[in-house]
Amino acid sequence: MTLIDDPRSDAPTQAVPPVPPPAPGAVPPAMPPVPPRLRGRRPGRAPVTRAPRAGRWWGGAALLSLSLLLLGFITHVTVFSSIQHDRAQSLQYEELRSSLAKAETPVGQLDLDKKLVAAGTPVALLQIPRLGIEEVVGEGTTSDLLRSGPGHQRSSVMPGQNGTAVILGRQTTYGAPFADLKRLVPGDTITVTTGQGTHTFTVSGLRRDGDDKLPIPGEGEGRLELVTADGLPLFPSGALHVDAELTSPTVETPTRVMSVEALPAEERAMGHDGSAWFTAFFAGTFLLAAIAGMTALWLRWRRGPAWIIGVPVVVTLAAATADAVMNALPNLL
């Protein structure tokens, strides 16, 4: 035992017991674990910086890009496209009402200047009471034109005239004006107002791709054919055709200058514009650049501001990309 004198006190010296040596075969006490924040450090050296794994980083960036693209597509299909359709219908209704009042609404393939009716020109008002449908019909049936509402196929006669008038409409996107056509049954009434008056049709039946076609209407007979996508939304199995016979008197039928054979492929049922893929490609390129910029801000700057600035830009570009892709998809979706 060792005696220790305390110079600050007159107290007697204290005895400090010696530390006993470890017993033979005893296990020394384990060292406490190193905190995670101190792992990889050495005394007197800077913290070790580990390089990110390139494969994992690029995989995460690709997954983020795909997720944002899908988010933009879904947002566009469910929200933005309906807003675009409603706005376009409001404008077309005012234009159609004005042209009807002035007796300037086209009633054939040529306008008053003997030129083909301009694409998108309002030509009729379609009403289906059973489904609550009231839609302005424009001239033309490309994927881009059908964003505004149903379109009249340019190679067919106008509703109410001798022959078959064909109107195409979307099933799921841009307001989905023809989403419920499959609910129509024989006997339902359809009315169409054109520059030649109001015409009444009665549904005679529904057809799908592969079913027998109806005979061409005879002299003094008219028919209306409504066409949309058939099957699950965005996953069509073909086209659905609703046939309705004209029950009101036929009106004068101008001479046609365009036949069915001359109709471009993108204006037929389930047609699409293949050149739209180039626009979609460039839109997608800008989207990827925006995602890369947001990622750089996220890595080099504060994460909160990076998300606040980057997310609106990326979502907007994703919606624009989805909008371009819609032009390249079948026109009846």
> How does pLDDT run along the chain (333 residues), one tens digit per residue?
544 455 555 555 555 566 566 666 655 665 566 565 555 555 555 554 444 556 676 677 677 667 766 776 777 777 788 998 999 999 999 999 999 999 999 999 998 888 999 999 999 999 999 999 999 999 999 999 999 999 999 999 999 999 999 999 999 999 999 999 999 999 999 999 999 999 999 999 999 988 998 999 999 999 999 999 999 988 899 999 999 999 999 999 999 899 888 999 999 999 988 777 777 788 778 877 887 777 777 777 766 777 777 777 877 777 777 778 888 889 999
pTM of the model: 0.75
Which residues, at least 6 apart from 182, have a Cβ–Cβ distance to it below 8 Å? Answer: 206, 230, 240
Q: Please tell me the predicted confidence (pLDDT) of residue 276.
A: 77
Distance, CA of 228 to chain centre: 17
What confidence tens digit (pLDDT) does each residue in 202-241 have? Answer: 999 999 988 998 999 999 999 999 999 999 988 899 999 9
What is the identity of the amino acid at 307? Answer: W
One-letter amino acid for residue 62 of the chain: A
Could you report how far apart the first and last alpha carbons of the chain are, in Å? 96
Tens-place pLDDT, residues 300-321: 776 677 777 777 787 777 777 7
Q: Give the H or E element holding residue 240.
A: strand 235-246
- Tell me the HSE value of 330 on the side-chain side, using a 13 A CA sphere: 21
